[in-house]
Amino acid sequence: MSYLSIVIPQARRLRLPLTRDQIMLLLAATSELFMGIDIYLAHSISGTIPRNEWIPIVFGVVAGILLLLA
């Protein structure tokens, strides 16, 4: 029994459709995706993105997609 179910007895009936490991992978995937988007937006403010600046942008998106598929 968790602390939440002690404080709120109705929480005993609440079950998440995902396991803890799946939730952690989903968190990491969304974090990587948003990091790629954030880096792209931050570098696009200057108007030009040099070739070496694309590495973290592409990595963030690809890593996020691969984590979603895992």
Q: Domain limits of the chain?
A: 16-69
Question: pTM for the whole thing?
Answer: 0.69
pLDDT of residue 43: 87
Determine the pLDDT at residue 58: 92
pLDDT at 1: 58
Rg of the chain over all Cα atoms, to the nearest angstrom: 19
- Determine the average pLDDT of the residues in 41-70: 89
Q: What is the pLDDT of residues 1-38, one digit of tens each?
A: 577 778 888 777 777 788 889 999 999 999 999 999 99
